[in-house]
């Protein structure tokens, strides 16, 4: 193994450089080294590029990883385990894996209850620790999910973002036969849409303003796509549901207007699941909850159970990753053909995956 490798290193806002860096050292106890096959560009990577630091710790070392300042981005990946640290028994050298990005402490109250995705010291691979836009990355062995046959390495790199939508649908409870609304048809919205269909949702209504993304939503199984800029989405949805509203909604945008909209589109006692990453507060009257029995549910990321579910549905074709991959590029082109392409041609792109 060579001593150095190429990596996409974040240094600051609009400053991601392809650099020659040392290969990570032999993994510590409980960790493994993975040779990266494909790694997708996430909306959060794009945010760090355009407006960072957002998650990347620059003021103080991260409490779990000790990382501060420049780091290697990338957390949506597949690869081969090439070295295993002491005490690792769940994976072996040669295993092809899709890793969960939620590095966690294992000790806090949420870790102990199995919700390590909201660990009090949560550290995302590639945002709070070095990530996978590189030839090699070291990660905790317990986060490795071995890819089943029937899932390609390319599709495998979409398990991570698809798992977010999969968990959102789990959080909504049974949607069998229900009418659900998905707000936004980006990567997370499309994943949520397909997961809701797989869970037996009777009718899925997608709200999306971009033409290209609306077409993708249709391709991914949406029954109805509405453009909220061209119609009154709430009254359209009520008209489709005997005047009541949808049974459940999923907010996958993170905009100050679409947050309250997720509550407005559901019926009394319905559920609104909030998945988007918000930059601004919304104005919201809580009487729309106390006057209706409506429930609002927050959800962040996923756990390995969701990886298992997503890969099973990928193997059976109920989730389709290929429809979401709009570009495959080399690591050296990540800024031009990756970040800038996603910024300048936002509507035409869903997921661009990178080959180190
Ligand atoms: Zn991501
Ligand atoms: Zn924890």
* pLDDT 10s digits, 298-349: 999 999 999 999 999 999 999 999 989 999 999 999 999 999 999 999 989 9
Dist. CA 300 → ligand 2 center (Å): 14
| CATH number of 4-158+321-355, picked from 3.10.180.10, 3.90.180.10, 3.40.50.1950, 2.60.40.1170 | 3.90.180.10
The whole-number average pLDDT for the span 244-251 is: 98
What is the number of the ligand closest to the CA of 121? 2
What CATH code would you report for 164-298? 3.40.50.720
Structure tokens at 63: 């409490």
Q: Say how many Å lie between the CA of residue 117 and the centre of ligand 2.
A: 8
59 in the Ramachandran plot: left (φ > 0), alpha (ψ -120 to 50) or beta? Answer: alpha
265 near 234, Cβ under 8 Å?
A: yes
> Which residue has 């060579």 as its token pair?
2
Domains 4-158+321-355 and 164-298 share a fold: no
Centroid of ligand 1 to alpha carbon of 231 (angstroms): 31
- Interval 60-71 mean pLDDT: 96
Q: How many CB atoms lie within 10 A of CB 147?
A: 23
Distance 123 CA to ligand 2 centre (A): 10
The 3-state DSSP class for residue 204 equals: strand
193 Cα to the center of ligand 2, angstroms: 30
pLDDT-derived band at 1, boundaries 50, 70, 90: low
At 287, the pLDDT band (50, 70, 90 cuts) reads very high
pLDDT score of 279: 84
Domain ranges for the chain = 4-158+321-355, 164-298
Give the SS3 label for residue 161: helix
Give yes or no for a contact between 270 and 179, defined as CB atoms under 8 angstroms apart.
no
Ligand 1 center to 160 CA (angstroms): 7
What digits encode the pLDDT tens for the residues 209-230?
999 999 999 999 999 999 999 9
C-alpha 253 – ligand 2 centre gap (Å)? 27
Contact 47, 56 (CB under 8 A): no
Q: What is the structure's pLDDT at 252?
A: 98
CA atoms of 11 and 87, how far apart (whole Å): 34
CA 21 to chain CA mean position, Å: 27
Q: Are 144 and 99 in contact (CB under 8 A)?
A: yes
Report CA(339)–ligand 1 centroid distance (Å). 14
What pLDDT shows up at residue 2? 59
For all residues of the chain together, what is the average pLDDT? 96
| Sheet hosting strand 4-12, strand order edge to edge | 15-22, 4-12, 71-72
Q: Ligand 2 centre and the CA of 67: distance in Å?
A: 17
C-alpha–C-alpha distance, residues 143 and 304, integer Å: 7
Residue 288 Cα to ligand 1 midpoint, Å, equals 31
CA 196 to ligand 2 center in whole angstroms: 29
pLDDT at 242: 97
Å from CA of 38 to ligand 1 middle:
14
Q: Identify the CA nearest to 106 among candidates 143, 146, 73, 138.
A: 143
Q: How far apart are the first and last CA of the chain?
A: 15
* CB 117 within 8 Å of CB 303: yes
């Amino acid at each position: 193994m060579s001593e150095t490798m190429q990596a996409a290193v974040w240094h600051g806002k609009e400053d991601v450089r392809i650099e020659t860096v040392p290969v990570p050292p032999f993994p510590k106890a409980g960790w493994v080294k993975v040779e990266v096959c494909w790694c997708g560009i996430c909306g959060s990577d794009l945010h760090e590029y355009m407006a960072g630091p957002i998650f990347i710790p620059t003021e103080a070392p991260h409490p779990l990883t000790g990382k501060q300042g420049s780091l290697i981005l990338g957390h949506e990946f597949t690869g081969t385990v090439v070295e295993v640290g002491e005490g690792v028994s769940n994976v072996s050298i040669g295993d092809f894996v899709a890793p969960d990005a939620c590095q966690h402490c294992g000790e806090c109250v949420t870790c102990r209850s199995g919700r390590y995705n909201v660990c009090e010291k949560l550290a995302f691979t590639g945002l709070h620790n070095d990530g996978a836009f590189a030839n090699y990355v070291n990660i905790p062995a317990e986060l490795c999910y071995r890819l089943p046959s029937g899932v390609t390495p390319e599709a495998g790199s979409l398990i991570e973002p698809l798992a977010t939508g999969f968990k959102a649908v789990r959080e909504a409870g049974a949607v069998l036969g229900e009418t659900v609304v998905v707000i936004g048809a980006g990567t997370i919205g499309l994943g949520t849409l397909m997961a809701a269909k797989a869970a037996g949702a009777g009718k899925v209504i997608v709200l999306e303003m971009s033409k290209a993304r609306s077409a993708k939503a249709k391709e991914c199984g949406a029954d109805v796509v509405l453009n909220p800029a061209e119609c009154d989405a709430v009254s359209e949805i009520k008209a489709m549901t005997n005047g009541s509203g949808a049974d459940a909604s999923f907010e996958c945008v993170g905009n100050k207007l679409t947050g309250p909209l997720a509550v407005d589109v559901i019926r009394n006692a319905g559920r609104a699941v909030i998945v988007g990453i918000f930059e601004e507060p919304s104005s919201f009257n809580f009487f729309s909850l106390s006057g209706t029995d409506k429930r609002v549910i927050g959800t962040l990321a996923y756990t390995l159970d969701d990886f298992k579910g997503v890969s099973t549905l990928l193997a059976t074709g109920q989730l389709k990753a290929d429809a979401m991959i709009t570009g495959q590029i080399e690591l050296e082109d990540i800024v031009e053909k990756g970040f800038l392409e996603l910024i300048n041609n936002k509507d035409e792109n869903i997921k661009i995956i990178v080959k180190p």
